[in-house]
């Protein structure tokens, strides 16, 4: 079995070593420009388009991350990039769900207990007790109830604030009030105090975090965007912060990454920035998951995590 591999060069050697260890029977090679020799499986993160065209025999492309938007954007811009008969398979959790729960949990509790405001008071050397927000009305709304969103919702529920979840199809999660489909979108948003975005980036969800959505939330709401920068209309967030409709935001993802040094977000004290680090693809978990799925496909079995190309996730 032939497996071709691509990640940005800095990380490639460690991944290749671990894959070689997990799949000793596979002929594993790192893709180099000009390599169009046959392969059964490709394992990639942010691959160049040239890696796919033309390549005989490819049965599946494994994406070393949860979001497949970068690969699907290649396909949208250059139709036919992805081999027609190959499945696109993404990482499911792979160690990201607990990291996401820590990151979002930390941000939610930071806002609930007003640590963001204490940071400012400390910088001014001011001793002042702030009333905590009432937990009962500190409603957390999570956009996207997939692998990551549902894990985050379950992690937050025991803290006692109301937790809501929104997805395309109905979900049933203990302790979480769930909403599904566009018809229930406004009811989901109404009165939400912390909006957490864990949607995949698709044509349907592009620019979803905009002025209209912000206007439906509770006044002085908080935004946590850990999905993709292209979900957020940046000027609408700056305007909502200026008006007070949004009190503060924690952003892990941006339209342009790395965020350029002159981007206005750096100068906005109510925005907390992290460098797309909320949930990293963990090598050991991901290698084990991909190797097990390759073995299953080689035995003729089906696997989970197959991307629906029409839906875009």
Q: Per CB under 6 A, which region of 115-123, 131-139, 197-205, 261-269 contacts ligand NAP?
A: 197-205
Question: Half-sphere exposure (CA, 13 Å, Cβ side) for 183?
Answer: 2
In the complex, which residue's CB is closest to ligand NAP? 146
Rg of the chain over all Cα atoms, to the nearest angstrom: 21
Which of the listed partners (ligand NAP, ligand GLV, none) does 147 bind, with a CB threshold of 5 to 8 Å by partner kind? ligand NAP
Site string for ligand GLV, 27-66 (x = CB under 6 A): --------------------------------------xx
252 binds ligand NAP (CB under 6 A): yes
- At its nearest, how many Å lie between ligand GLV and the CB of residue 194? 21
Angle at 106 between CA 103 and CA 110, to 5 degrees: 140
- At its nearest, how many Å lie between ligand GLV and the CB of residue 65? 3
313 binds ligand NAP (CB under 6 A): yes
Query: Three-state DSSP class for 32?
Result: coil
224 binds ligand GLV (CB under 6 A): no
Which of the listed partners (ligand NAP, ligand GLV, none) does 163 bind, with a CB threshold of 5 to 8 Å by partner kind? none
106 binds ligand NAP (CB under 6 A): no
Query: Three-state DSSP class for 87?
Result: strand
Q: Are 244 and 220 in contact (CB under 8 A)?
A: yes
178 binds ligand GLV (CB under 6 A): no
Residue with tokens 């864990």, as numbered in its chain = 198
205 binds ligand GLV (CB under 6 A): no
Could you say which of 47, 67, 83, 229 contacts ligand GLV (CB under 6 A)?
67
Q: Are 222 and 166 in contact (CB under 8 A)?
A: no
Distance CA 280, CA 193 (A): 27
Q: Are 118 and 112 in contact (CB under 8 A)?
A: no
Contacts 24+ apart (CB under 8 A), 167-174: 171/145, 173/145
Backbone angles phi, psi at 126, to 5 degrees: -110, 130
Out of 276, 283, 299, 311, which one is annotated catalytic?
276
Site string for ligand NAP, 30-49 (x = CB under 6 A): --------------------
């Amino acid at each position: 079995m032939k497996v071709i591999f691509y990640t940005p060069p800095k990380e490639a050697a460690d991944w290749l070593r671990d894959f070689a260890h997990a799949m000793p029977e596979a002929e594993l090679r790192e893709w180099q420009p000009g390599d169009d020799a046959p392969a059964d499986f490709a394992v990639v993160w942010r691959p160049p388009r040239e890696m796919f065209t033309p390549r005989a025999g490819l049965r599946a492309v494994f994406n070393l991350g949860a979001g497949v938007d970068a690969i699907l954007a290649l396909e949208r811009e250059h139709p036919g990039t992805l081999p027609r008969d190959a499945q696109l398979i993404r990482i499911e959790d792979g160690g990201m769900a607990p990291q996401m729960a820590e990151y979002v949990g930390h941000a939610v509790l930071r806002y609930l207990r007003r640590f963001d405001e204490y940071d400012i008071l400390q910088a001014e050397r001011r001793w002042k007790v702030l009333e905590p927000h009432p937990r009962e009305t500190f409603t957390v709304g999570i956009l996207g109830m997939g692998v990551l969103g549902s894990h985050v919702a379950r992690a937050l529920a025991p803290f006692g604030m109301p937790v809501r979840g929104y997805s395309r199809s109905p979900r049933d999660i203990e302790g979480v009030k769930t909403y599904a489909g566009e018809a229930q979108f406004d009811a989901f948003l109404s009165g939400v105090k912390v909006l957490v975005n864990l949607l995949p980036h698709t044509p349907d969800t592009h620019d979803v975090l905009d002025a209209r959505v912000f206007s439906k939330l509770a006044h002085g709401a908080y935004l946590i965007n850990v999905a993709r920068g292209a979900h957020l209309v940046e000027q609408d967030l700056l305007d909502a912060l200026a008006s007070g409709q949004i009190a503060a935001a924690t952003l892990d993802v941006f339209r342009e990454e790395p965020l350029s040094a002159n981007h206005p977000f750096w100068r906005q004290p109510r925005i907390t920035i992290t460098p797309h680090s909320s949930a990293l693809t963990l090598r050991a978990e991901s290698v084990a998951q991909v190797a097990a799925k390759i073995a299953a496909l080689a035995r003729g079995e089906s696997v989970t995590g197959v991307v629906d190309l029409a839906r875009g996730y």
